[in-house]
Amino acid sequence: MGFPHCPKCRKNLVQQSPRHGWIEALLSIFSIYPFRCQLCTHRFLAFEWWWRRFVSYYGRREYVRIPVRFQLTFSGKQVSSEGTVVNLSRQGCMIETHAPIPYGELLWLRVHEPGGQPLFEIEAAVVRCIVEKSVGVEFVRIQESEMKRLERVIVNLCTGRHI
């Protein structure tokens, strides 16, 4: 038995979500936990066998980081360069680059397949963390058509289809 399906979009690309409040804490006694759909972002409660808690890892993140190797071009007020996306989620990504990017910088991103074909564009992403040559960004503005393209990429990555 795998994870539950999202009641909104019917996909099974869900991740257990952190509990909020005493009601959800109480429900966890009965093996009812909150989940977050990785595609449509719907948050819902569902039953999960208690023993699965010991064989699965649930971090504090509500969206799964998917390891990838995509080419990237980006620009902001203080920087314009290229890099590599090393992990991707619906809310953001981690970028490896040699360009110095300041914390809080607002970036425009274009993510490409390894062969150069564009996958999607992010209108605005904010730098949230910097670790050596890696920069974590949060997507703050993305056009609806580009969000659909990003969701398609995530579905393909999660289901094992080649992009």
Q: Report all structural domains of the chain as residue ranges with CATH numbers, in order of start.
A: 1-63 (no CATH), 66-159 (2.40.10.220)
96 beta partners: 84, 134
User: pLDDT digit string (tens) for 108-142?
Assistant: 999 998 877 899 999 999 999 999 899 999 999 99
CB atoms within 10 A of CB 79: 15
Residue pointed to by tokens 């680059």: 97
Which pLDDT score is estimated for 161? 62
Lowest mean pLDDT among 4-8, 82-86, 126-130, 135-139: 4-8
